[in-house]
Amino acid sequence: MIMKTTLKNWFTHQNKTGVLLILLLSVSFSGCDDFLEVDAPLGQIPHQEVFTDEATATAATTSLYGKLRDLVMVSGSNSGMGVLMGLYADELDFYGMPWDTAQTLYFHNVLATDPAVQSIWDNAYNLIYMCNAVLEGLENADQLPAEFKQHLRGEALFVRGLVHFYLVNLFGDIPYPKTTDYQSNGKIKKIPEAMVYDAILDDLSNAKGLLGDSYITGERTRANSWAVSALIARVYLYLGRWQEAEAESGRIINNASLFTLETELNNVFLKESRSAILQLKPQNPGSNSQEASTYIFDSPPPPFVALSSALVASMQPNDLRKTQWIGEVSDGSQSWYYAYKYKQQFNTGSSMEYSIVLRLAEQYLIRAEARANQNNIAGAQQDINAIRLRAGLDNTQANTPEQLRLAILQERRFELFAEHGHRWFDIRRFGMANEILSPIKTAWKPTDVLLPIPESDLLLNPNLAPQNPGY
Amino acid sequence: MKNNYRHRFALAVTFALLTYTSPIFSQNLPLKTISGTITDADGPLNGVNVLVKNTSRGSVSDLEGRYALLANSSDTLVFTYLGYKTQEVAVGSSRILNVNMQADATALDQVVINAGYYKVSDKERTGSIARMTAKEIENQPVNNPLEALQGRMAGVNIMATSGVPGGGFNVRIRGQNSIMAGNEPLYIIDGIPFDSQSLGSPLSSAGIIPVGAISPLNAINPASIESIEVLKDADATAIYGSRGANGVVLITTKKGKAGKTKFSFSSSTGIAHITQKRELLNTEQYLEMRREAFANDGITEYPEYAYDVNGRWNLNRYTDWQDVLIGHTANIHKVQGSVSGGSEGTRFLLTGMYQNETSVFPGSFNYDRITVNSSLQHKDRQDKFKLDFNAGYTLEDNFLPGSDLSDYAVSLAPNAPALYDTSGNLNWEDGTWNNPLAQFENKYKNKSNTLFTSLSLSYKLVEQLDVKLNSGYGASSLKDHVTAPHTAFNPAWGMTSANSMVTTNEGNKKYWILEPQLNWKQTWENGVLNILLGGTFQKQQFDQYGVYGIGFPTNSFITNLSAATTILVNNEVSTQYNTQSWFTRINYALKNKLFLNITGRRDGSSRFGSGNKYGNFGALGAAYVFSDDLNLDWLNFGKIRGSYGITGNDQIGDYQYLQTYTITGQPYDGNIGLQPARLYNPNFKWEENRKSEIALEMGFLKNKIALSVAYYNNRSSNQLINYSLPTTTGFSSILANLDAEVENKGWEFDLKMTPLQTENFKWTSSINLSLSKNKLLAFPGLETSAYANKYVIGESLYIVKLYKLKGVNPQTGLFEFEDYNNDGQLTGTDDREYVADLTPKYFGGFSNFLSYKNWELDIFFQFVKKKGYNQYRATEPVGTMANQSVSVLDRWQQPGDVANMQRFTTGADPDAYTAYYKFIQSNGIISDASFIRLKSLALAYTLSLGKASNTSCRLLLTGQNLLTITKFEGGDPEQMDGNLPPLTRLTFGFQLNL
């Protein structure tokens, strides 16, 4: 009662400040339900919206290649197989700083906690997650045209297969996640190598069926059925399924309207190269391959890695690959060599070189090896000679399957050096890693044929046990 | 003239008041005007309340200490003033009553504590609130107010993350509550929350400032602070609801005082350098180590890359890289001026400060800061309307090297080549090393400005009811960049300015807040009831934009983005954070000795998905002042208090509940880069923190000794965990609530003493001590979780699980470790079972303040008992191309040797190499890192100038981190992450008061 009269009294005093405050108060106290609603954060797109629009669905898919280019397995950067497994094998020598993580691979001081190995693993599975996110997103993308979705699905399957192919060759038995569900992926079991290969082939043959024969943008920067075939051929080769490997590589070699061996070595790595089956486009207009900036150096001694002088010395002096694909730097008394396949270290007006993931010469060598293993001596020689001829060399003298196998291993070493760690994977599958590396790597152990499963993952998911031997 | 006017004005006010309230006069005796002057030891005292006892008639003394009111001869006048003893004087026949007020330092009910939404006298306080005032802050030559708090308050543990200017601090109030979400307290400046999240981006600043955490609190000039209160228990923090779990730090800036306009000018200058160096191998010892390592590994011909031993580098050269890279002396200059004053109705203060500080790195790096603070208070004549406005504006310029060289300083080979060649260019020694000074070609620069304002309007509607509107607006921005010119790279790469790069970042933050409040106060004969009702509406907008610019015509254009050939956006963030809350406080005081305090808050936050946006928090606190009932001679004050309540924690970042794709700066083939942002969980909720506390506060011997003992127990549940996942999930973690529970409990002791007090000499002393224990109580599924190897139930969150070092095998010369499961193998999963607890066991401070005539001496020691990472943490195997501590010399050399360090290796011996990596994951890297530090020392002399008592000059010599006593060998025991340690500072200055 008192309060009421006081208030009344007060209002008749016409106290302006008080009235103002009361008004402000009542406005504020009324609150609003929307107050806690916030706009979607800038730079982020809700997951479901990405796959309602062709442009964003395409971007989610092409980002898979972006990730390959910058970080994962076939990257020309120092996190790609080219550098890391080149150092691990007898292809590259390490000159970087002691704290560079690549050093442990070079010296074979790899522990289960190795940061370089950890990042190979982490980046690979992150990319696999991205593939699965695209596949799941497309699953429910009713607004997108069927043909469009089919192509993107094929590309995601191809990338998923490609990454697993490298993983299985690095780590042996591995898990094969096919969903984005973290609960099941967190407890996922690893499966035997053979089953991983089955899954890879399954993904690749699905991809091949989904992708057309033409390059969707005109440039060779997104996978089509040919790119998938090239990878399938390699998978069959690694599995020793010679007949299938021969058929698959033959399919590409025979498509001369699309693919021919560039006769001029200096043209092989240009972006217009007709021997390229799949290329990764640099990030920006005018920029060039990551390989060039990783490998090339101007003055001695090498700042990071150099080609092993043993490799350079074992090439014939008249091998054009030695003169055109290898650069030399000397301080007067000593020389160092670098891979000079890609020549554009810096930006050019428009990009001149793209990183090549798959190229025709490898298909020749795949078919040669498949033929040699099926006792097709002449066929094998013919394929090797196609490569040797271009390098200005004579025909091969090898004429038994065993000689041919070794000749092919040697030819692959000279043709494919500094490309995605081919050398390591070759000596490994030939069962010759021990023989070749134990004399030159003091810390070499026969168990080094597999990298360790990163310890942090093993600790988190006991289903990944056991650790690979030797770690 | 002026004085007369004021006098008359005061009288007029008094009469106006009396006239207004005249209807309630009911006395029979004739009223007469009583007037007089109120003084204290220093002269007239303004603002003293004068009340005719048992009536509502009263007055307030004016600037000259004068008052006047009407009373009759049987009345008694009661004079009260904060911090002074209350006096009662009978009127009798006098018409003039002059009163001399006695300062009462011991009057607890006169010390008013800021509790955020309300104020409470120390006596009536039911919650746990620690306090520090300007006097202690001003004596410390620090840049960041948090540094001034180090060691000063029980339960508040503050550790510097880096000694570079602009670096941040880890603040833990009563331990770590959250396993993964933020553990930062809530900062409130003049009633307005001050977001302590950094505007920096790790992309540009992580090299020099750890994790890019540029502390926004650097914008607060410590000298502008009147007091800092830290709210610790539920009773004090529950009113902050979801933001109270980690404690609340209330910063109150200085206000003007009514009276003569005062001018003050101060200036100081000083030096700073790192607290201590590590003892490392010299060239001779280093080369001995290297040669022995090669010999041990059976390598006779030094490889080409072993530049340090194979003769490519001078074998006789010696450089103390700590001296060269982080051992320079920084210069500090600071000037400050202020003007303050005002009348009874309106008071003001304006302060400006400029500071310049160079760095301990080589080169001309420096940190500049300008701060301006203003404050305005006004009240109307009837004391009904009140306005309080505060604003601060700070400009900071920070110029630093692109990265912290502390790590290089301890790991570079002592015979590594000279930094510059004979022609003054960076020396690359033919590309055989990474010249550390190349890092100095990378330069980091930031410019930031911070504005924070608060405005509070209140109006007394009726005697019992106040309405109040608190409002605040703040805007801050930070622009920084780090350059990477091509000259920072080994020339062997053949780079040109076309490869030079700059990384920029720009962060902006804006917020406003409105907090309408109603405060009802009802007084009865035996009790006082206070009810506070309020609401909070806050919006915060955060924007960040960063680009890389690559390729410049020449390096002189490197900061000029328009000259870059390529510009790439590396991040573009815009987030909002809104909260909407209601809060209340109900406080009842019975007979001024029993106090009950109930607080509650309903919080809504945009950080959570629909259905989980709101949470309720609250607490109950009570206090009983038993000394009033006991009436003991030796015990002049005794209080027991306790509280229990629930607070929350929402420090999990914005938008974490959304499943999104993020645009990345890595386009492909003409399409933008898009990546899934994270694994998402739409269901997560608030963390809950249940706090309980019981405390005893006592004052003995007329409060010459005051002791406070508190026991607390806080339990955090519903933990938001960035649940580590195997990366086969695509990511390394996901955010989820887990039924895990973390307990922090401990004892806090505070002892304040005045051992001696005479007319000329005064000595006060205080000790605070915190014993704390952190414990993981529950963690369902820990064994199979990502944390299986990180945490142990029943142990603290600060543990590390390690191999247990058994020592060096005298036969093999290799480290050996405990094989816990006896399977003959050492595996991370099974044999890292040694638990090292890095929780500080106890910490505190010991402070002494002595004054003799015009001299003052303030000495403060900080002490911490803890374990920490020693000099071996994250080192390369001993014998590789990296310098080591001298302690490695106690090594195994031949069979039979008993040594602490295993045989040296270059890394080529796989057994030694593997054993060393096990060693740096073993308890061999843990040592006692306890320390006692002379944290601050201040010596001041005050010179009285002229007749006017307020004119003085104060000379001040201060030091910070002057001396550290420790057995620790791994560098500074406070900072063990390899960043620049905190600095020792020594400054001299004067302050002129006019």
Q: How confident is the model at residue B22 (pLDDT cuts 50, 70, 90)?
A: very low
Is B420 an 8 Å CB contact of chain A?
Answer: no
B544: β partners = B507, B573
Q: Are residues A377 and A268 in the same domain?
A: yes
Q: Tell me which residue range forms the domain holding A242.
A: 212-281+354-415
Q: Are A81 and A145 members of one domain?
A: yes
Please tell me the predicted confidence (pLDDT) of residue A15.
59
Q: Do residues A427 and A398 share a domain? A: no
pLDDT of residue B221: 93
Q: And the tokens for B308?
A: 């340090």
Which residue type occupies B379? Answer: K
Q: Residue A456 in contact with residue A119, Cβ under 8 Å?
A: no
Q: Which residue did the predictor score with more confidence, B849 or A26? A: B849
Nearest-CA distance from A334 to chain B in Å?
11
Packing angle of the helix pair A422-429, A146-171 (nearest 10 deg) = 60
Coil, strand or helix: which one is B473? strand
Would you say residue B571 has pLDDT above 90?
no
Q: What pLDDT sits at residue B499?
A: 85
Q: What is the pLDDT of residue B204?
A: 84
Domain assignment of residue A30, yes or no: no
A-chain CB neighbours of B613 within 8 Å are: 36
Tell me: pLDDT of B875 over 70. Answer: yes
Asked if the model's pLDDT at residue B666 lies above 50, the reply is yes
> Same structural domain for residues B140 and B29?
no
Choose the closest CB to A28 out of B537, B605, B913. B537
- Least confident range from A230-244, B447-461, B567-581, B779-793: namely B779-793
Mean pLDDT of B48-59: 84
* B673 assigned to some structural domain: no
Together in a domain, A164 and A244: no
Q: Is the pLDDT of residue B16 over 60?
A: no
DSSP string, B834-883: EEEE-S-SEEEEEEEEEEETTEEEEEEEEEEE-EEE-TTTTPPPBTBSS-
**Which among B458, B671, B788 has CB closest to A58?**
B671
The mean pLDDT of chain A is 91
**3-state helix, strand and coil shares in percent for chain B, rounded to the nearest 5:** 15, 50, 35
Residue A11 in any domain: the answer is: no
Inter-CA distances, A379 with A389, B59, B166, Å: 15, 115, 71
Report yes or no: B729 and B679 within 8 Å, Cβ to Cβ.
Answer: yes
Query: B657 CA to chain A: closest CA distance, Å?
Result: 11
Q: What is the pLDDT of residue B110?
A: 64
pLDDT at B106: 52
pLDDT value at B722 more than 80? no
Query: What confidence category does residue A418 fall into, taking pLDDT thresholds of 50, 70 and 90?
Result: very high
Q: What confidence score (pLDDT) does residue B703 get?
A: 80
Contact predicate A305/A95, CB 8 Å: yes
Kindly report the CATH number assigned to the domain that includes residue B69.
2.60.40.1120
Name the residue among B681, B792, B682 with its Cα closest to residue B740: B792
**CB pair distance less than 8 Å for A62 and B668:** yes
Q: Is the pLDDT of residue B196 over 90?
A: no
E strand or H helix that includes residue B638: strand B635-649
Encoding tokens for residue B277?
Answer: 């160096």
Per-residue model confidence (pLDDT) at position A20: 63
Is the model's pLDDT at B355 over the cut of 90?
Answer: yes
- Rounded Cα distance, B632 and B635, in Å: 5
The residue of chain A with its CA nearest to that of B515 is A28
Greater pLDDT, B650 or B213: B650
**What CATH number is given to the structural domain containing A369?**
1.25.40.390
Share of residues in chain B with pLDDT > 70 (%): 95
The nearest CA of chain B is from the CA of A331 a distance in Å of 10
Q: How many domains does chain A have?
A: 2
Same domain, A110 and A234: no
What is the pLDDT averaged over residues B70-98?
Answer: 84
CB-CB under 8 Å, A442 with B908: yes
- Shared domain for A400 and A274, answered yes or no, is yes
Put simply, whether B284 touches A (Cβ < 8 Å) is: no
Looking at the fold, whether B81 and B174 belong to one and the same domain comes out as: no
How do residues B260-296 score in pLDDT, each as one tens digit?
888 999 999 999 999 988 999 999 999 999 999 999 9
Q: Is the dihedral of CA B282, B285, B288, B292 positive or negative?
A: negative
Give the nearest partner residue to B654 out of A41, A281, A299, using CB atoms.
A41
* pLDDT above 50 for B255: yes
pLDDT at position B592 is 86
- In chain A, residues with a C-beta closer than 8 Å to the C-beta of B724 are 460
CA–CA separation, A83 vs A104, rounded Å? 13
Do both A68 and A217 map to the same domain?
Answer: no
Kindly state whether residues B37 and B120 are assigned to the same domain: no
Instruction: Answer whether residue B218 is part of any domain.
Output: yes
Tokens of B494: 């053949």
Say yes or no: A137 and A263 in one domain.
Answer: no
Specify if B62 maps to a domain.
yes
The residues, ordered by sequence, that sit 6+ positions from B86 with a Cβ below 8 Å of its Cβ are B78, B79, B80
pLDDT band at A2 (very low <50, low <70, confident <90, very high): very low
- Tokens representing residue B344 in the block: 């009874």
Q: Which of B570, B584, B669 to mutate to test the interface with A (most CBs of A within 10 A)?
A: B669
Whether residue B535 lies within 8 A of chain A, CB to CB, comes out as yes
pLDDT at res. B84: 76
CA B660 to chain A, closest CA, distance in angstroms equals 4
CB-based contact, B566 to chain A, within 8 Å: yes
Average confidence (pLDDT) over A23-43:
66
Confidence band, pLDDT 50/70/90 cuts, at residue A21: low
Asked whether the beta carbons of B653 and B607 are under 8 A apart, the reply is yes
Please give the pLDDT value at position B233: 93
Q: Tell me which residue in A109, A121, A129 faces B907 most closely, judged by beta carbons.
A: A109
pLDDT at B8 over 80: no
B168, part of any domain: yes
Contact B655 A41 (CB under 8 A): yes
Query: Do A402 and A427 fall within a single domain?
Result: no
Examine the pLDDT at A359 and tell me if it is beyond 60.
yes
Whether residue A108 lies inside any domain: the answer is yes
Stretch 788-807 of chain B: residues touching chain A, C-beta under 8 Å: 788-789
Both A164 and A218 in one domain: the answer is: no
Q: Is B4 helix (H, G, I), strand (E, B) or coil?
A: helix
CATH number at residue B118: 2.170.130.10
pLDDT at B423 over 90: no
What's the pLDDT score for residue A329?
A: 92
A35 and B731 within 8 Å at the Cβ level: the answer is: no
- Written as one string, the DSSP assignment of B84-113 is B--EEEE-TT-SB--EEPPB-TT-GGGSEE
Considering only CB atoms, B606 lies closest to which of A3, A36, A113, namely A36
Say if residue B59 is in the same domain as residue B26: yes
The number of domains in chain B is 2
Alpha-carbon dihedral sign for residues B145, B868, B205, B409: positive
User: B21: pLDDT confidence band, cut at 50, 70 and 90?
Assistant: very low
Chain B residues in contact with A16 by the CB 8 A cut-off are none
Q: How confident is the model at residue B20 (pLDDT cuts 50, 70, 90)?
A: very low
B174 and B205 belong to one structural domain: yes
Those residues with Cβ within 8 angstroms of residue A161's Cβ, 6 or more apart along the chain or in another chain: A200, A201, A203, A204, A207, A231
Query: Is residue B143 one of the residues assigned to a domain?
Result: yes
For residue B193, is it within any domain?
yes
pLDDT band at B934 (very low <50, low <70, confident <90, very high): very high
| pLDDT over 70 at B884, yes or no | yes
Q: What is the pLDDT of residue B211?
A: 66
Determine the pLDDT at residue A72: 96
CA dihedral of B573, B479, B569, B735, whole degrees rounded to 10: -30
Same domain as A258, residue A121: no
Last-in-domain residue among B225, B253, B281: B253
Residue A303 forms part of a structural domain: no
- B484-525 pLDDT, tens per residue? 898 888 787 778 888 888 999 999 999 999 999 999 999 988
Q: How many residues does chain B have?
A: 994
| Nearest residue in B to A133, CA atom | B676
Residue ending a domain, among B81, B104, B127, is B104
Is residue B26 one of the residues assigned to a domain? yes
Eight-state DSSP code of residue B147: H
Do A67 and A174 share a domain, yes or no? yes
Q: According to the 3-state scheme, what is the secondary structure of chain A?
A: CHHHHHHHHHHHCCCHHHHHHHHHHHHHHHCCHHHHCCCCCCCEEEHHHHCCCHHHHHHHHHHHHHHHHHCCCCCCCCCCHHHHHHHHCCCEEECCCCCCCCHHHHHCCCCCCCHHHHHHHHHHHHHHHHHHHHHHHHHCCCCCCHHHHHHHHHHHHHHHHHHHHHHHHHHCCECCCCCCCHHHHHCCCCECHHHHHHHHHHHHHHHHHHCCCCCCCCCCCCCCHHHHHHHHHHHHHHHCCHHHHHHHHHHHHCCCCCCCCCCCHHHCCECCCCCEEEEECCCCCCCCCHHHHHHCCCCCCCCCEEECHHHHHHCCCCCHHHHHCEEEEECCCCEEEEECCCCCCCCCCCCCECEEEEEHHHHHHHHHHHHHHCCCHHHHHHHHHHHHHHCCCCCCCCCCHHHHHHHHHHHHHHHCCCCCCHHHHHHHHCCCHHHHHCCCCCCCCHHHHCCCCCHHHHHHCHHHCCCCCCC
| pLDDT level of residue A26 (50, 70, 90 thresholds) | low
Per-residue pLDDT of B300-310, as tens digits, reads 999 888 889 98
Backbone angles phi, psi at B193, to 5 degrees: -60, 135
Residue type, B690: R
Q: Which domain holds residue B93?
A: 2-104
- Residues A6-22: what's their mean pLDDT? 55
Interval B356-387: pLDDT, tens: 999 999 888 999 999 999 999 999 988 889 99
Average pLDDT over residues A198-218: 96
**Mutating which of A4, A6, A28, A138 best tests the B interface, going by the most B Cβ atoms within 10 A?**
A28
Residue range B392-414, pLDDT digits in tens: 999 999 999 888 888 889 989 99
Per-residue confidence at B28, pLDDT binned at 50, 70, 90? low
Residues A63, B492: C-beta atoms closer than 8 Å: no
Q: Is the ipTM of this complex over 0.90?
A: no
Q: Which residues of A touch B728 (CB under 8 A)?
A: 125, 175, 177, 185-186, 188, 457, 461, 464
Residue pairs between chains A and B whose CB atoms are closer than 8 Å: 286
B573: CB partners within 8 A, 6+ apart:
A41, A42, A43, B542, B543, B544, B545
Beta partners for B713? B692, B745
Among A125-134, A186-195, B947-956, the range scoring the smallest mean pLDDT is: B947-956
Give dist(CA A73, CA A237) in Å, integer: 19
B853 vs A156, more confident: A156
Q: For residue B658, which residues of chain A lie inside 8 Å, CB to CB?
A: 40-41, 44, 46
Give the contacts of B591 (CB within 8 A, at least 6 positions apart). Answer: B526, B527
B11 shares its domain with B27: yes
Residue A400 has pLDDT above 90, yes or no: yes
Are B578 and A6 in contact (CB < 8 Å)? no
Strand B225-231 and strand B248-253: the pairing is antiparallel
Closest CA of chain A from B151, distance in Å = 37
Domain boundary among B56, B79, B104: B104
Q: What gap in Å lies between CA A411 and CA A319, rounded to an integer?
A: 11
Mean pLDDT across A252-277: 95
Q: What is the pLDDT of residue A160?
A: 98
Pair (B113, B244) in one structural domain = yes
pLDDT at residue B105, as a whole number: 53
Same domain, B10 and B28: yes
The sign of the torsion formed by the CA atoms of B411, B417, B422, B423 equals negative
